């Protein structure tokens, strides 16, 4: 599980990292933690295509606030779980606007923090359950659906492009590949391409722009179906989001 901790107070950051590591050890969970001292620092790395499963953001930071950062994130990413940490309550309602996981008021009990981590991990695991099993160099690799951005078929093989796991090759025809995928996430957008709606940033008449900046072709006969699935996915995400 990939976690970003963004806070300009080192003591607070160090404390949260210790709690995360203790929680991960107790739950036997593998975590990768990146620490950022400003919203700008996080935004620079995140915009380069480094994905996270959970972002723990302090709201009050020197230049860009955690709330402003969350709003920037939500322009292109509806999936990143966001946990706010702050000493004030004035931004609680804004937390709903960005579908925050929760909003912890300092000082908070470690048990409250752990409860949020448990909730974030449960959502993370739910996404990771579904995966495509790919044979690579004599071994099987489980590629979570959430990792797959798009696929392109050429001849008898699919090239599978992922967020952070590299590229895979799989021998399948289009009519063989589609049944292996989650029909609520994946859709054929072109005679040679399948796209994952999780990773779509925007749609145009003849192309799909992904959050990574890559562009995938969109053929006219598929525009309506792709648009419909894209909207349904994001409406569902908005309905399920919110604070607890």
The structural domains of the chain, with segments of one domain joined by +, span 2-129, 131-237
Helices and strands, number each (H, E), in the chain: 7, 15
Tokens 């976690």 identify what position? 3
pLDDT of residue 77: 77
Are the C-beta atoms of 59 and 65 separated by less than 8 Å? Answer: yes
pLDDT tens for the chain, 244 residues: list them.
899 999 999 999 999 999 999 999 999 998 999 999 999 999 998 877 677 889 999 998 989 999 999 999 888 777 789 999 988 777 666 767 788 999 999 899 999 999 999 999 998 887 766 888 887 776 678 888 989 999 999 999 999 999 988 999 999 999 999 999 999 999 999 999 999 999 999 999 899 999 999 999 999 999 999 999 999 998 877 665 544 4
Tell me the per-residue pLDDT of 151-208, one tens digit each, with 9 for 90 and over. 999 999 999 999 988 999 999 999 999 999 999 999 999 999 999 999 999 999 899 9
pLDDT of residue 224: 95
DSSP structural state of residue 17: H
pLDDT of residue 83: 96
3-state class of 19 per DSSP? helix
pLDDT of residue 46: 84
Fold adopted by 131-237 = OB fold (Dihydrolipoamide Acetyltransferase, E2P) (2.40.50)
2-129 maps to CATH 2.60.130.10? no
Q: Considering the entire predicted model, what is its pTM?
A: 0.59
pLDDT of residue 243: 45
pLDDT of residue 41: 96
pLDDT of residue 110: 96
Measured between alpha carbons, how far is 112 from 128 in angstroms, rounded to an integer?
Answer: 25
């Amino acid at each position: 599980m990939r976690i970003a901790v963004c806070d300009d107070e080192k003591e607070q950051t160090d404390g949260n990292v210790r709690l995360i590591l203790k929680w991960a050890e107790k739950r036997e969970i593998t975590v990768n933690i990146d620490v950022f001292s400003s919203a700008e620092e996080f935004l620079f790395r995140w915009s380069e295509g480094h994905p996270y499963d959970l972002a723990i953001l302090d709201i009050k930071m020197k230049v860009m606030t955690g709330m402003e950062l969350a709003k920037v994130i939500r322009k292109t990413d509806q999936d990143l779980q966001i946990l706010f940490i702050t000493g004030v309550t004035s931004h609680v309602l804004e937390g709903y606007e960005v579908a925050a996981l929760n909003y912890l008021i300092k000082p908070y009990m470690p048990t409250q923090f752990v409860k949020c981590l448990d909730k974030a991990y449960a959502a993370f695991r739910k996404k990771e359950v579904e995966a495509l099993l790919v044979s690579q160099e004599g071994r099987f690799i489980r590629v979570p659906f959430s990792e797959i951005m798009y696929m392109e078929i050429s001849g008898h093989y699919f090239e599978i492009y992922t967020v952070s796991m590299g590229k895979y090759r799989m021998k399948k025809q289009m009519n063989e590949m589609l049944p292996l995928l989650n029909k609520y996430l994946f859709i054929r957008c072109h005679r040679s391409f399948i796209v994952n709606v999780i990773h779509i940033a925007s749609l145009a008449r003849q192309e799909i722009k992904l959050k990574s900046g890559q562009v995938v072709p969109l053929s006219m006969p598929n525009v309506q179906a792709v648009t419909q699935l894209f909207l349904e996915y994001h409406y569902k995400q908005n309905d399920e989001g919110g604070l607890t």
